[in-house]
Amino acid sequence: MFEGFASGAIELRETTIFVRHGGSGPPVLLLHGHPRTSATWHRVAPALVERGFTVVCADLRGYGRSRGPQPAADHSAHCKRVVAQDMLEVMSSLGHTRFGLVGHDRGSYVALRLALDHPGGVSRIALLDCLPISEHLSRLTTDFAIQWWHWFFFAQPDIPERVINADPDSWYRGDPDVMGRDNYDEWRSAIRDPGVVRAMLEDYRAGLTIDRRHEERDRATGNRLRCPTLILWSLRDDLEQLYGDPLRIWRDWADDVRGHGIDSGHHIAEEAPTALTQALGEFLAE
C-alpha cells in the first residue's frame, strides 16, 4: 500500500500520531472513520497524488498506530477539539499551514471541528457520510435509534469494552477482498488491541457529551464553515433514507455547500475509490 509514501510517527505534546504522506502540490489531509485506520485511503491517496496533490493520511488519536493520553472522566481527552488540534499540529510539522481537508464518518467530525476552530488553516473541506452530531441528536427518531444503536451502546461505561474485546473479529467484521489485504491486516491488528478499542469508544462517548455541547455553542454564536464545502454520502448507506437531502441540513452550517450521493456502501474509500477520487480531485483543484 501507499507506494512512494513516507510513513512514521509524529510526536506531539500529549499524543503520538502515525502518518503517511506523499506527493507534491497543494496539501490535503485525509481523516478516516470508525473502526478504520489511515490505510482505508490506500486506493484514494495515491490517485490524488497522481492528480498533483500532496496527501497526508493520519491515524486519529488512539486509533490504529496513534496513541494518546488516558481517557478523562468527562471524555475531554478524546473530544474532537483536541483531536483536531492534533491534526493541525501534524500538518504544521510537515510544513503545511493551510490545506484541503477530507473526513469520513468519525473523521468527518474531527474535520468539521478543525475547520470551525481554525478556519485560517482550511482552504476547503469535504465531509463524507456526515451530519453534525448535534443535528442527528436533535432529530432523534425510533428509526435512528434502531439503525444507529451502536452510538448509545458505545457510550455505556465498561460494558462495550468487555463485549468487543471478547471477540473483536466477530464484532468488527471485515472482508479482505473488499478492503484489500494489507488494509485488512492493519485494521485487524488495531481492533485486537484493547487500548485502541477503548480510545475508539471514548470517541463516541465524547461525541454524545462534550462534542455535542461544542456544536450547540457554534450554532448559538453563528460559527459556521466559511470555506467551500463538499458533502458526499453513500447511496447504499442510510443517511439519505433518514433525512432526505443532506445538503438541506448542511446549508445551516456552511456558506458555500454542494455535493451528491455516490453509489457505495458506507466505507466509500474502499468500495468506490474511483468515483470518490473523481469528486474529491475536482473539488480540491478548484
Catalytic residues: 105, 266
Q: Give DSSP secondary structure letters for 88-153.
A: HHHHHHTT-SSEEEEEETHHHHHHHHHHHH-GGGEEEEEEES---HHHHHHT--HHHHHHTHHHHH
Q: C-alpha distances in angstroms, 235 versus 22, 31, 85, 107, 246?
A: 30, 20, 31, 19, 12
Q: Which of 87, 75, 36, 77 is nearest to 196 (CA)?
A: 36
* Residue 18, φ and ψ in degrees, nearest 5: -85, 130
If you ran DSSP here, which 8-state letter would residue 67 be given?
A: B
* Residue 14, φ and ψ in degrees, nearest 5: -125, 5
How many whole angstroms separate alpha carbon 170 and alpha carbon 273?
26
Place of cell 481527552: 77
How many whole angstroms separate alpha carbon 197 and alpha carbon 191?
6
User: What Rg do the C-alpha atoms of the chain give, in angstroms?
Assistant: 17
Contacts of 170 (CB under 8 A, 6+ apart): none
Contacts of 13 (CB under 8 A, 6+ apart): none
**Tally of CA atoms within 13 A in the half-sphere of 47 that contains its CB:** 18
